[in-house]
A and B are shown apart, each in its own frame.
Chain A
Amino acid sequence: MYALVDAVAFYASAEKVFDPAIRSKPVVVLTNNDGCVCAVCPIARRLNIPKFGPYFKVKQLLEQNNVVVRSSNYELYANLSDRMMSVIGRFCDTQHIYSIDESFLHFSGYENVVKDWHTYGHLIRRTVWRETKLPVGVGFGPTPTLAKAANHAAKKLTGFDGVAVINDEASRRAILQRMDCQDVWGIGKRLAKKLKIMNINTAWQLAQQNPKTMRRAFSVVVERTVSELNGLVCLNWDDVRQDKREIYSTRSFGERIYESTALKTALINHVTIVGKKLRAQKSLTKQLYIFASSSSHEDVFYKKSYMYQFSMPTNDTCVMANAVSEVFEKIYQPGVRFYKCGVGALELTAEQFQQSDLFSPQQDNPKLMGCLDAINTRYGKGMLGLASSKLNDRWHMNRDFLSPQYTTRWRDIPKIKCD
């Protein structure tokens, strides 16, 4: 048996954990420089606030309904996610954390231990609520895809109270028949449109397809999904957990940028993030993709990108920052209102398979980078960095409605009244 446990509107729910004043109020969370709504709590959902819409479009609606608006407080969410995952992990010996708010559990040999999955699901829900004040939904199924379907039912379909179980033909049919195929794990909107043309509308209809035909028509992923919907386990965590093959850091600016120092500072900061991620997974990159652009809504759209080829694969922030400096003059153009920039490390190789080259000496300084990472881990992100990453702070994101970092900064710990 598999379970998928995930938080209900995680970001919005997390905002309520240490702010009792907004527990019973509608709350939405913005992301991407406060440009877009990314989480809507159930109370706000009842007011028909759309998720994933631009903020400016719903701003008036939010004001009319006294909806509490917050910027994404990633420090808080990461800490609450850790706590939530750790509590969920107590209920099973095999846990796979799939995203910041979703966790799979694989129950093998629990048949005699857990008598009733429904009751067990409620125990998980109650415990997570009690210990972290985060609401979660729990779905059980014989495959990860069916567990995900049950989880969808638990939270979205009427007649379920936060827990749903698929453990026989009747329960599988009852849930899949009421589910749009676009809500099936791994299908998504675009694929669902094509399926609809073939008259496949519900998850149940998708489950009736021949897996081999689906493979020919679409891909091996869809074939596996169909098999999983029929109770055949095809997914393997090791497939999912693989090291990332590309690492990107990109972001749009809070306000448009004109000056070259500001743009360069932003690029160096992206390089810093990519370098750190590369070292964390012990990868090296052969190519660095560097780009900057104006907004596509500008009259004249400007975009310049460069693919920088290293003579030796690297994960050294200094080496990558030099690459940025080398191509920067070609990317920057005075007068352009820059909206977005970023870097991407492509063609990654493992550190351990690194071969040395007689004619191109290695420029990396692993000791220095190790020291840099150690200092930043110990004293906080950005404590030590390249001087060129600190020349300008205009590149930072807008978080105008940010809540305090209740669990990660002393001066932000919650106040408790004794009067």
Chain B
Amino acid sequence: MCFGCLFMFVIPIYIEAGICGFESPAAQYTELGVSLDELLIKHPDATFIGIASGSSMQEVGIFEGDLLVVDRAEHAKDGDVIVANLNGLFVCKLLDKTNARLLSASPVYQPVNITPSDEFQLEGVVSLSIRMHRQSPELLSCMP
């Protein structure tokens, strides 16, 4: 599978100063380059991308509007940043399996105890998050 635009091919095309004549020798190599998918996504079939909202995870560097890359194949350990289905909502928290709790990175937010009456499913591990330092028009419309 492919994450469409996340496939970032760096295309080595040189600007040719408007002079007609010899074609750039680089033209033949335009398909080469590095792919961000390849570098960042270990399990493409098990990975999805979501967008973060809220401030409870700022202490681990996840801010409103950041992209979260969620890997469902990765094994979740205590302390991992994870995404879970908690009572019908996708939430991003720190995992505390030992005490059956979800922790926020910010001390302002109380830990959430998971009780048997909660609907809870671990969705995956947040293997990385991405911050846009310039707003992407594509993503603007998903902001809350």
- Which A residues fall within an 8 A CB radius of B? 18, 20-24, 79, 82-84, 86-87, 130-133, 406-408, 410-419
Contacts and interface: CB of A to CB of B under 8 A. Distances in A.
Given A87-B46, A132-B46, A415 B142 contact: yes
Contacts of A410: 4-5, 136, 138-139, 142
A414 B50 contact: yes
Please give me the 7 A-B residue pairs with the lowest Cβ-Cβ distance, nearest first. A419-B54, A131-B46, A418-B54, A20-B85, A21-B88, A410-B138, A416-B50
Contacts of A84: 45
Interface in B109-144: 109, 119, 121, 123, 136, 138-139, 141-142, 144
B76 to A, nearest CB: 11
Interface stretch (B11-19, B20-28, B55-63): B55-63
A257 B21 CA distance: 56
A80 to B, nearest CB: 9
Contacts of A22: 88
B96 to A, nearest CB: 16
Interface of B, secondary structure class, is mixed
Contact of A417 (B53, B73, B141): B53
Interface residues of B, number: 41
A411 B141 contact: yes
Nearest to A406: B48
Contact of A130 (B62, B72, B142, B144): B72
A257 B144 CA distance: 39
Residue picked from A22, A410, A418, most chain B C-beta under 10 Å: A418
Contacts of A417: 53-54, 89-92
B43 A131 contact: yes
Contact of A20 (B1, B89, B141): B89
B95 interface: no
Between A408, A411, A419, the greatest number of chain B beta carbons within 10 A of the residue's beta carbon is seen for A419
Given A23-B85, A83-B45, A415 B90 contact: yes
A162 B64 CA distance: 41
Contacts of B90: 20, 414-417
Contacts of A132: 45-46, 72
Contacts of B85: 20, 23
Nearest to A407: B48
Select the residue from B46, B52, B64, B92 with max chain A CB neighbours within 10 A.
Answer: B46
A413 B49 contact: yes
Contacts of A133: 72, 123
Nearest to A127: B73
A414 B48 contact: yes
A418 B119 contact: no
Contacts of A23: 85, 88, 119, 121
Contacts of B51: 413-416
Contact of B142 (A79, A82, A413): A413
B43 A418 contact: no
Given A130-B73, A133-B72, A410-B138, A20 B121 contact: yes
Nearest to A85: B45
Contacts of B73: 130-131
Contacts of A418: 52-57, 62, 64, 91-92, 104
Nearest to A17: B48
